[in-house]
Amino acid sequence: MAPASPSGLFKRSARQVSCRIDDEFAILDLGRAMYFGVQGVGVQIWDALEQPRTLAELCALITAEFDVSASDCEADVVAFLAGLQEEGLIEVAEDA
């Protein structure tokens, strides 16, 4: 899987539906009928992905909300996005 490109546009895939449960998101993969849960900072990221976002935009949202260094934030966000992408829950559109 290709690493997250700084200029790539991430968005939720058409293969899923999701809903909010208090401070979590539940996601259903429509094809595999598998459920996923998103908690913690992942909630902010998934919520933000309601619109297509670049990595930089996502990191800016997180660093504005949490006390975390830019480098640590980017590493964590990249890892989280990689996990979502591996499960087919998000897609990377053409470079923004």
Partner 1 sequence: MKRSPTGDREFGLLCLIAQPEPDLARIRERLDEGIDAARLVQLAELHGLRPRLARCWSALSWAGAGTGERSGLELFQRHHAMRALAMSRELLEVASSFAESGIAFATFKGPALAVALYGDLAGREYNDIDIIVPQLQFAQAEAQLEAMGYRNSQGSREFCRAFLGGQGQYAFTRPDGTGAAVDLHWAFSGTHVTFPLRPAEAWGDGDIQRLSIGEGRQVPAIGGANLALLLAGHGTKEAWRFLKWVCDLGLMIERHRELDWPGIHRRAVARGCGDAVLLGCSMAKALLELAVPDGLAGPLQASARVRSLTGLLIGRMLETPRRAFADNFADLILCDSRLDRIRGAVDLAVTPSAGDYLAMPLPAPLWPIYYGTRPFRLAAKALMGALTRR
Residues that bind partner 1 (CB under 8 A): 11-14, 16-23, 26-28, 30, 33, 35
Nearest approach in angstroms of CB 64 to partner 1 is 22
Nearest approach in angstroms of CB 21 to partner 1 is 5
Strand 16-21 to strand 53-54: parallel, antiparallel, or no bridges (unpaired)? unpaired
88: left (phi over 0), alpha (psi -120 to 50) or beta: left
Nearer to partner 1, 73 or 81 (CB): 81
Residue 94 is encoded by which pair of tokens? Answer: 């053409």
Nearer to partner 1, 11 or 92 (CB): 11
In 3D, which of 50, 56, 77, 49 has the Cα closest to residue 7?
56
Nearer to partner 1, 26 or 79 (CB): 26
